[in-house]
Amino acid sequence: MIKQLANEFMEYAEFGGGSSEWVNKTMHECLGEQYCNGFTHRFMQEAAVALIENEGSFEKALESIEGDCYTDELMKWLSSSPARVELMDDVINSKIYSSPFFNLMDCIMVAQEVDKKKVFTTLYFCLKTEQSQRECLI
């Protein structure tokens, strides 16, 4: 059912026409305080596609989420919101950044991956909530 809901989410999110109340609520939940952020919209779509491609499996879909490998995309993402600097700080202060071979671009990529996975997790749990609500109606 998660795969079906992810498909439904993609239809409404992509085309926006006559969007469903639960899709709007899910989008606002994923966006958080970053309303109208193009990257977060893209990450929601990537998360839905990951769930569709991985048959609704949380673990497999989460494993498929990665940061961009292109420097220009990473720099655009980093500069698109001051909140991204906080993510960078979190990565630098975590065990993830402990490798001596870890450079600044690796740090930005990991921070973006954390951001993507946060959006993915929020989307997944919103889909699970919608699934539970629909099952209660049956």
- Please check the confidence at residue 115 and state whether its pLDDT lies above 70: yes
Confidence at residue 48, expressed as pLDDT on a 0 to 100 scale: 95
| Contact between residue 4 and residue 11 where contact means Cβ atoms under 8 Å apart | no
pLDDT in tens, 57-82: 999 999 999 999 899 999 999 998 88
Q: Determine if the pTM surpasses 0.85.
A: yes
pLDDT in tens, 16-62: 655 688 888 888 888 876 656 788 889 999 999 999 999 989 999 99
Confidence at residue 89, expressed as pLDDT on a 0 to 100 scale: 86
Confidence at residue 76, expressed as pLDDT on a 0 to 100 scale: 93
Nearest to 47 by CA among 35, 36, 37, 60: 60
Confidence at residue 126, expressed as pLDDT on a 0 to 100 scale: 94
Cβ neighbors of 73 (< 8 A, separation 6 or more) are: none
- Please check the confidence at residue 96 and state whether its pLDDT lies above 80: no
Confidence at residue 105, expressed as pLDDT on a 0 to 100 scale: 87
pLDDT in tens, 117-138: 999 999 999 999 999 998 887 6
For residue 100, the SS3 value is coil
What is the Cα–Cα distance from 16 to 13, expressed in whole angstroms? 5
Confidence at residue 30, expressed as pLDDT on a 0 to 100 scale: 86
